[in-house]
Structure 1
Amino acid sequence: MGLTSSIQNVESPHFYFELGELIANAGHDRFAENMLHLVDKLVPINRVELTEWTLDERQASILDIKHLGSAGLWADICFTELSHRQDDHPLFKNIIEMDDSLLIQMNAQSKSPDARCTSHQCNLVSRKSNRRCVISFYRAHTQRVFSLSELSFLKSLSQTLLPLIECHARICRHTQPHNPGTAIAGEQTPLQREFHERLARDDIALSAREKEVCLGLLSGGTVPEMADKLSVKNSSIETYLKRAAAKLGVSGRHGLAKWMAGA
């Protein structure tokens, strides 16, 4: 797959499995790890850091920066520590002045007195009211900088990732920490639960078979695998998907994935 391709051209069943896992774990501790697994297979990265910034836009200042999760290696990676004056943060000016979603590249500085304490960064930022959700991808200084094609691809992927981190941040704000011992209502998987909740919010009714096909594809299944599982022809699976997509107002498998992501 060429890195200049948009998400519409990502046909790998594994990609949709990873995306389904990411969606299902919004609000949970594994969210950052799932995002690392998804992105690293498309654009090599060493680490991901997730944060939510709350701003005082009138005073052009930062009220709070909340850590939403992290995953990956620490070796050869340096992370920006907040100083007593948070407006010293290297992303501050861009984030204060942004009007729409943003991609910010920061390359390692070769003149740093500590060469190990540097890293290449690609930051994806969304804006909702006075909040900014930031996805920071890190690559060690010993590796090459992010290429233009990689940055272009990550910008395209941000249309899916940014709504998901906004969802993750919203859940983290309004729910108690997840208790692993708590039983899942109705024995549903997190992906199934989120899928049915989205259907209810959008007031969309799918048939049982349409739901089964959608969930199977979101979980990484292929059309032949779903056909074999349900003992029907491949064309029948395609028909169920088309019917479901029409009700959801989307087109095809990538449209289904973006609908689940809230994009």
Structure 2
Amino acid sequence: MSLTRSIGDTRGPHFYAEMGELISNSGDEHFAANMLHLVDKWVPIHLVDLSEWTLDELRDRVLDIKLLGSAGLKQDLSVPQTLHPLNDHPLLREMLRMQDPLLIQMKAKANSTHPRGSSHQCNLVSRQSNRRCVISFYRPPTQRGFSLAELSFLKCLSDTLLPLMERHAQILRQAHHTETEPAHNLLEQSQLQREFYKRLSLSDITLSAREQEVCLGLLTGGTVPQIAEKLSVKNSSIETYLKRAAAKLGVSGRHGLAKWMVGA
């Protein structure tokens, strides 16, 4: 199947169904596998890594890299035994001063000493404060690198994939911080999140990460001051995010949001 035809197919119901499945699996162990399944149909890839970087921007260094998911034919992609320090990673320089989302292409290099460096890769990167969410797609060096058309398609798709990646990372952080909560509370929150993302997908509405956080906070019974404290922002900022989300959803306030959630 040609890439041009494939891109056209993304307007069809199958693409949105698969995107909805990906959205509903944010924070789930199958998230990376679902992303691989979705992207591979339009741009052939063998492996996807999802990672979250924490940077010390004042000292131009990496504080931590967490792998938040991985899926694919790992046996086709060699991983070097000796790894350089994180601060020597080839992605770091471009990620330090970024303001807008990036697409970073790295062609396969023989005898690379960096993780996956001997494979062709396309990295989609977003920024939230000192964190960087990274989606890395790989091809083995025996295959051709990513074409300009494929890179352009992935850049367009990044508008959807990167916010989902940010949400995936956030859910995993929240799960880590709330491990002591009763299991039934966590289950209820997970079910509500999945239903919320499913409704967004069916409505073909895009909310920012902050707008999603505020909507979910209100739907789970949180107050404006509580959500503001949790997100470390002012109450007025929460009100602004809610107004923006409500305008996109075509509702008014918390009650309208609840009605939208149940399809009323």
User: Are 2:195 and 1:192 equivalent residues in the alignment?
Assistant: yes
Q: Classify 1:123/1:146 alpha carbon distance in 2 versus 1 (closer, same or farther; 3 Å).
A: same
Q: What's the offset of the Cα at 1:43?
A: 0.4
2:4 and 2:46 mapped to 1: Cα distance?
A: 21
Instruction: Report what 1:201 is aligned to.
Output: 215
1:111 and 1:199 mapped to 2: Cα distance?
A: 43
Matches within 5 A, 1:227-242: none
Q: Letter of the aligned partner of 2:47 in structure 1? A: R
Instruction: Report what 2:154 is aligned to.
Output: 154
Instruction: Report what 1:34 is aligned to.
Output: 34
Q: What's the offset of the Cα at 1:63?
A: 0.6
1:95 and 1:174 mapped to 2: Cα distance?
A: 25
1:164 and 1:94 mapped to 2: Cα distance?
A: 22
Instruction: Report what 2:46 is aligned to.
Output: 46
Q: What's the offset of the Cα at 1:81?
A: 7.4
Q: Structure 1: 5+ residue runs without aligned partners?
A: 205-245, 250-263
1:104 and 1:153 mapped to 2: Cα distance?
A: 14
SS at 1:164's partner residue? Answer: helix
Matches within 5 A, 1:1-263: 3=3, 10-79=10-79, 83=83, 85-110=85-110, 118-176=118-176, 185=188, 191-195=194-198, 201=215, 248=249
Q: What's the offset of the Cα at 1:94?
A: 1.1
Aligned partners of 2:193 and 2:216 also within 8 Å: no
Instruction: Report what 1:209 is aligned to.
Output: none
Q: Classify 1:80/1:52 alpha carbon distance in 2 versus 1 (closer, same or farther; 3 Å).
A: farther
Q: Structure 2: 5+ residue runs without aligned partners?
A: 201-211, 219-246, 251-264
Q: Normalised by the size of structure 2, how large is the TM-score?
A: 0.66
SS at 1:36's partner residue? Answer: helix
Q: How big is the alpha-carbon RMSD for the aligned residues of Structure 1 and Structure 2?
A: 4.0
**More deviation in 102-111 or 141-150?**
102-111
Encode CA deviations 1:7-54: one digit per residue, 9 max, x unaligned. Answer: 797222221111111100111101100100110011000000000000
Q: What's the offset of the Cα at 1:109?
A: 1.9
Q: Classify 1:7/1:112 alpha carbon distance in 2 versus 1 (closer, same or farther; 3 Å).
A: closer
Q: Which has the higher contact order (CA 8 A, sep 6+)?
A: 1
**More deviation in 84-93 or 194-203?**
194-203
1:66 and 1:126 mapped to 2: Cα distance?
A: 15
**More deviation in 64-73 or 187-196?**
187-196
Q: Classify 1:14/1:189 alpha carbon distance in 2 versus 1 (closer, same or farther; 3 Å).
A: farther
Q: What's the offset of the Cα at 1:82?
A: 8.3
Q: Normalised by the size of structure 1, how large is the TM-score?
A: 0.66
Q: Classify 1:117/1:160 alpha carbon distance in 2 versus 1 (closer, same or farther; 3 Å).
A: closer
2:81 and 2:146 mapped to 1: Cα distance?
A: 22
Aligned partners of 2:50 and 2:70 also within 8 Å: yes
1:128 and 1:161 mapped to 2: Cα distance?
A: 15
Q: What's the offset of the Cα at 1:76?
A: 2.6
Encode CA deviations 1:159-196: one digit per residue, 9 max, x unaligned. Answer: 00000000000111111499xx9795499686425446
2:92 and 2:141 mapped to 1: Cα distance?
A: 22
1:174 and 1:186 mapped to 2: Cα distance?
A: 11
Q: What's the offset of the Cα at 1:6?
A: 11
Q: Letter of the aligned partner of 1:192 in structure 2? A: E
2:168 and 2:3 mapped to 1: Cα distance?
A: 26
Higher relative helix content: 2
